[in-house]
Amino acid sequence: MTSNPQAKGTSFGDRKILRNAIRDSFAKLDPRLMVRNPVMFVVEVGAVITLVVLVSNLVEHHGDFRFGLQITLWLWFTVLFANFAEAMAEGRGKAQAETLRKARAETEARKLHDDGTTELLPSSKLRAGDVVVVAACEFIPGDGEVIEGVASVDESAITGESAPVIRESGGDRSAVTGGTRVLSDEIKVRITSNPGETFLDRMISLVEGASRQKTPNEIALNILLAGLTIIFLLAVVTLQPFAIYSGAPQSIFALISLLVCLIPTTIGGLLSAIGIAGMDRLIQRNVIAMSGRAVEAAGDVDVLLLDKTGTITLGNREATAFHAAPGVTDADLASAAQLASFADETPEGRSIVVLAKEKYGLRGRELAPHNPIFIPFSAQTRMSGVDMDGREIRKGAPEAIKRYIAEKGQRVPEEVQEHVDRVAKSGGTPLLVAANFRVYGTIELTDIVKGGIRERFDHLRAMGIRTMMITGDNPLTAAAIARQAGVDDFLAEAKPEDKMALIRHEQAKGKLVAMTGDGTNDAPALAQADVGVAMNTGTQAAKEAGNMVDLDSNPTKLIEIVEIGKQLLITRGSLTTFSVANDVAKYFAIIPAMFAGTFPLLGLLNVMKLRTPESAILSAVIFNALIIIGLIPLALRGVRYRPLGAAALLRRNMFIYGLGGVVAPFLGIKLIDILVSWLRLA
C-alpha cells in the first residue's frame, strides 16, 4: 500500500487540499448548490436575513450593532464550516483523481484493420470493438480484452502495485485497463469501451464525487432532517406571536439564532462529507465502489460467500507430512519425494522439498552426477518425477499412481490406501510416491488456513454476519477446512450455477449477500449478489457484473469492505443522534436569554448561569458552528468500528453520542460563554 499513488494522494498536498477546500467553501455558497442540502440552506437564508437586517439597522442607527454583527458572522461561519467539511472530503478524492488523470494522458494507438494493416491514431478515436496491437513499452490505449498473446503489464497507475502482472488471451486473466503499460511481449487487444466510459474515467469521476448520487439511506436521512427543520422552523416562527402576546417580542437575530441552533446543522453539515469519506476509505484500501449504494449495502450484508482458495486458505497447499508404506522408512519416502519434486516449480512441489529438508535433513544433494532426467507434470499422466540411476521415481494423485503401477501388475498396499482416505477426510490432499513401481507412501498436502482468519470470522459472527465457504472440494475435505477456519457453513463441490442458486436462496429469505469473484462464470452470481466484489485480475465480464472492484485482487478484503460499510452507517447514525440530542442544551441557553429581560424569573431556566442574554445566544451559535469543525475529523475518519453485536453497539453508541450529545453542549456553551464575556464580546 505504501507504493499506492492514491494513498500518497492524501499526504502529498495536505496544504494544497486545505487551500482548495477553503476556496471551495465559498464557491459552495451558491444558493443553487446549497438548496440541495435543506438544513444548511435554511441556515444560509437565515444568514442573509440577518445581514440585511444588520445593514438596515446600521443605516437607521438602531439595534445592538456589535451583537448583530457577531451573530451574522457566526451564521455565515456555520454555512462555511459545513461547506468546508464537504470540500475537504471531496478534496482528497480530487487529489487522487489528478493522479489518475495523468495516467489517462492521450496515447497513440495502433489500430489493426481486418486486412492486417495497422493505422496510428489517437486513443480518443478508438471505439468499442476495435482491435489494437500493443507492444512492449507502449501504453494500452483503452479498456479491453487480450485476444492474442501474453504480456507482462505494469498496472501501477491503477493499482499502485509496482510488480507487473501477466495478461493473456483466454481464461480469467484477459482483461486489460487503459492507461496501463505493457512491459514485455506484444498483445492484440479488443477494445471494450468507448472513450469517456473507460474504467479509468469511471474511477476518476467516482473518486472526484462528480457522479455521486445520494444513497437510499442518505435520502431517508435527508427527509428526516428536512422534517425536523420544518418542525423547528415552525416552532420558532410561531414563537414570535406567543412572545408578542407575552409582551416580549424578539429581535430577528435572537429568533434566527434559535432556529439555527435547533435545526440539525451538525449532521446536516457533515452528511455529505461522511458519505464521500466512506467512499474514500474504500479507495484508500484500493477498492473502487461503482456506487455509494453498494457501500451502504455492504454494511447491511447478512451472508458472506467466500471462495475457499485465496480467501480462507492461502492459494497453495503445502506438504505437511509423509506417511510411509509398510517396509519403507519415512526417510526413504522423504528422499524419494524430494527427488521427484526437485524439478517441480509449483508451490506444492517446493513445499515437498522444503518439508523433506526440514524433517529429515535432506539438503544440498548433488544430482548432476546421477544424470537425472526430469519428467514434468503432464495433464495426461497427472504425474511428475525423475529418472536417475536406473530408478523411476514418480509422484502424483493416488488414482494416477494406481494406474501407473497397475501396468506392472503392482497394487497399492491396503495401509497406504487407509492413509490416503484419512488424509482426504481430514481436509488434506494425498499424493502417492512410487519408485520403480513400488509405492513408497503418501505425501499429505494440506490447505493452509490464513492466519487470523478464524478471529475475523468470530468478529463477523458477533456482528450477526454468517460466513459461507464455497469450494470445489469434496464435502469431507470442505467440512474439515470449514471447521478449521471457523466458517459457519460451506458449500462443497460447488459449480458456478450452485453459487447463483445459493445467493437466490438466501435473498429469498430476505438476506443480503456479498461475494467475490473473478472468472467469467462468476459474473452472473456477482451481478445477483447485493455486494459483488470483482477482482481486478479478473475478466472484464466479472468487473462489469460486480458493483465493486478490488484493485489488489485480494478476496479477503470483502471483510474490510463490510466493515467500512458498517462504519459509514454508524458514523451517520451517531452524528444524527448527537445532533438531535444537542437541542436540549441549546433550548436552555437561548429561551431564558430571550425572555429574561421581560420576565427575570425565567432566568431560573438559565441552568448554565450564562453571563448575559447576548452572551448566551452568541455562545450557543458559536458552539453550533464550532461543533461542525470539531467533528470534521470524525466525519472523515469515521466512528471507530467495533465488531460487536447490535445490542452492545447500540448501548455503546447511545451512551457516547446520545448521552454525550445531551451533555457536551452544556459544557461547551458554558465554556464559550466564559470566553465571550472575558473577551467582552457580549
What are the catalytic residues? 307
Residue with cell 506392472: 408
- What is the radius of gyration, based on Cα positions, of the chain? 33
Q: Which of residues 649-668 bind other proteins (CB under 8 A)?
A: 649-651, 653-654, 657-658
Binding to other proteins by residue 597, rule CB under 8 A? no
Q: Closer to other proteins at the Cβ: 154 or 506? A: 506
Name residue 566's amino acid: K
Binding to other proteins by residue 607, rule CB under 8 A? no
Concatenated DSSP letters of 567-631: HHHHHHHHHHHHHHHHHHHHHHHHHHHHHTTT-GGGGGG-TT--S-HHHHHHHHHHHHHHHHHHH
> What is the contact mask toward other proteins in residues 385 to 424, using x (rule: CB under 8 A)?
----------------------------------------
Q: Closer to other proteins at the Cβ: 158 or 303? A: 303
- Give the side-chain half-sphere CA count within 13 A for 256: 25
> Quick one: which of 461, 479, 486, 629 contacts other proteins (CB under 8 A)?
461
Binding to other proteins by residue 581, rule CB under 8 A? yes
The stretch near other proteins (CB under 8 A) out of 146-154, 224-232, 474-482, 522-530 is 224-232
The stretch near other proteins (CB under 8 A) out of 196-204, 427-435, 493-501, 581-589 is 581-589
The stretch near other proteins (CB under 8 A) out of 104-112, 223-231, 306-314, 424-432 is 223-231
For residue 553, the Cα-to-chain-centroid distance in whole angstroms is 12
Q: Closer to other proteins at the Cβ: 17 or 301? A: 301
Q: What's the DSSP call for residue 197?
A: S
85/77 Cα distance (integer angstroms): 12
Binding to other proteins by residue 604, rule CB under 8 A? yes
Binding to other proteins by residue 599, rule CB under 8 A? yes
Residue 24 and residue 87 in contact, taking contact as beta carbons nearer than 8 Å? yes
> Quick one: which of 55, 135, 136, 237 contacts other proteins (CB under 8 A)?
237
Q: Closer to other proteins at the Cβ: 303 or 393? A: 303
> Quick one: which of 228, 312, 336, 548 contacts other proteins (CB under 8 A)?
228
Given the DSSP bridges, would you call strands 438-449 and 466-470 parallel, antiparallel or unpaired? unpaired
Binding to other proteins by residue 577, rule CB under 8 A? yes
Cell numbers at 172, concatenated: 480469467
The stretch near other proteins (CB under 8 A) out of 88-96, 142-150, 562-570, 621-629 is 562-570
Cell numbers at 234, concatenated: 415552525
User: Nearest distance from residue 514's CB to other proteins, in Å?
Assistant: 13
> Quick one: which of 230, 373, 667, 675 contacts other proteins (CB under 8 A)?
230
> What is the contact mask toward other proteins in residues 241 to 280, using x (rule: CB under 8 A)?
xxxxxx-x---------x---x------------------
Residue 574 and residue 580 in contact, taking contact as beta carbons nearer than 8 Å? no
Collapsing DSSP states into helix, strand and coil, what is residue 323?
strand
Q: Closer to other proteins at the Cβ: 199 or 657? A: 657
305/511 Cα distance (integer angstroms): 12
Collapsing DSSP states into helix, strand and coil, what is residue 394?
strand
Q: Closer to other proteins at the Cβ: 27 or 220? A: 220
586/627 Cα distance (integer angstroms): 13
Cell numbers at 544, concatenated: 462489469
Binding to other proteins by residue 529, rule CB under 8 A? no
Residue 473 and residue 494 in contact, taking contact as beta carbons nearer than 8 Å? no
